[in-house]
Amino acid sequence: MLVSMAKTVGRSGIVAIALLAGLQTASAQQKPAPAAGVSTHPDVGDDGAPAQDDVKQIKLTDDQVKHFIAAQSDLAAIASKLQDAGDKPDPALQAELEGIATKHGFGNFAELDDVAANISIVMAGLDSKTGDFVDPVEALKKERDDVQKDSSIPDTDKKQLMDELTEAISTTPKLQYKENIDIVKAHKAEIEKALQ
């Protein structure tokens, strides 16, 4: 559901796995939804939801997106280790992640992680039918308005949905750099192929 995914938006951590999971869910729902992410950083709450400012939004460059795509095969090779590590990779795994990042032209893994998170925000907002970008925050607000107006939803369910949507809106980052949309759209097919 859009709400549960929005609660987990944040730094990508497990870059390939997290972005792929978000893309598959967004595709399956046929509506934009923020991609799920697992953080390798300690600023995630007990419920797994990162603070809204957890995603460092940056202006993406064409080269960064190409380097991200190239890194996916190496990240896929250690996917099971990443899954086993959860949000706290050991020093050896962290060193492996740093090595992958630098091999593919990033200064460090945090830079790769930031690029992945920014790509994820755009990919999650791309409508699967039209290819148009719908900001995930705006999509959540529209969903909340629709729930509010729907008289067929029992009051207790409506309250729970409204609370979840309100929380999701507060934890979902709004896209800061609109120019990222065109860069990501230009590489959309390559990104999706790299994450298969």
> Which pLDDT tens digit goes with each residue over 132-184?
999 888 889 999 999 999 999 999 999 999 999 999 999 887 899 999 999 99
For residue 8, what pLDDT is reported?
32
- Residue 127 phi/psi, 5-degree rounding, is -65, 130
By residue range, what is the domain housing residue 164?
Answer: 2-194
Structure tokens at 28: 């399956």
Nearest to 10 by CA among 87, 85, 75, 94: 87
Residue 122's CB: how many other CB atoms inside 10 A? 25
Average of pLDDT values for 91-120? 95
Number of domains the chain contains: 1
- Residue 91's pLDDT is 92
Residue 45 has pLDDT above 50, yes or no: no
Most confident stretch, 9-18, 35-44, 143-152: 143-152
Task: Say what the pLDDT of residue 82 is.
Answer: 86
For 66-95, what is the mean pLDDT? 91
Instruction: Indicate the pTM of the whole model.
Output: 0.69
77 closest CA partner among 52, 92, 97, 57: 97
pLDDT for res 116: 95
Share of the chain above pLDDT 70, in %: 72
The more confidently predicted of residues 196 and 91 is 91
- Report angle CA 32, 11, 34 to the nearest 5 degrees: 10
Q: Is the pLDDT of residue 107 over 60?
A: yes
